[in-house]
Structure 1
Amino acid sequence: MVLKTIQPRLRAVDTRTVKPPPKVADAELQTPEHKAWALEVKRRAGWRCEWLDIGQRCNVAAPARLFADHIKERRDGGAPLDPKNGRCLRGRGHSLKTASERAKRMSG
């Protein structure tokens, strides 16, 4: 005996048809001046992450992927090429900081 099922009244949405916009690198971040700034920030940090978690400095160092992060983001008026406005962060810290700043910006 073969059991038949009733077809659902609502069809599932195929999310594969909705494509996110293509990711485009910010042209300013590709300039030789910005690359020199990023290199200087990473050298000054000794190629180590400067993220502070409960007063403790992160101990991740190169060859982990490190980012030169703007302390005060460019969108918020931070100086884009001032080494004092930069710190070296690993991916986790950079993502947390960026998400936090974006949330502050969007809240008001």
Structure 2
Amino acid sequence: ENQRVSVAVVDRNGNTIVTLRGDGAGPQSYESAEKKAYTAVSWNAPTTELVKRLEQAPNLKDIPGTLFLGGGAPVTSKNAPIAGIGVAGAPSGDLDQKFAQAGVDALAK
């Protein structure tokens, strides 16, 4: 969709497996993508859903290494998290989330 994004994939323990920085992606997008992936795999939930949890538990955002913005999606096997995909750099978290979920969907095929 002609967006300038970075993508990160982390394993179940949050260790970075691969990162890709698209042409023109902002310098902050690399680290943001990793944190979104880590957050998604840690809670086995899309980061767009986790943002909603901040209303009841605002201290969640203080956990080191996490980022509660749209763009993180867990990769699961038998409903258990095995990896996380994070995308950052699009003009909205909704687009980042769409791209992260597309990665998860591609792996499910």
Fold match, TM over 0.5? Answer: no
TM value normalised by structure 1? 0.27
State which structure, 1 or 2, has the greater radius of gyration over its C-alpha atoms: 1
TM value normalised by structure 2? 0.27
Structure in which a larger fraction of residues adopt strand? 2
The structure showing larger relative contact order (alpha-carbon pairs under 8 Å, at least 6 residues apart) is 2
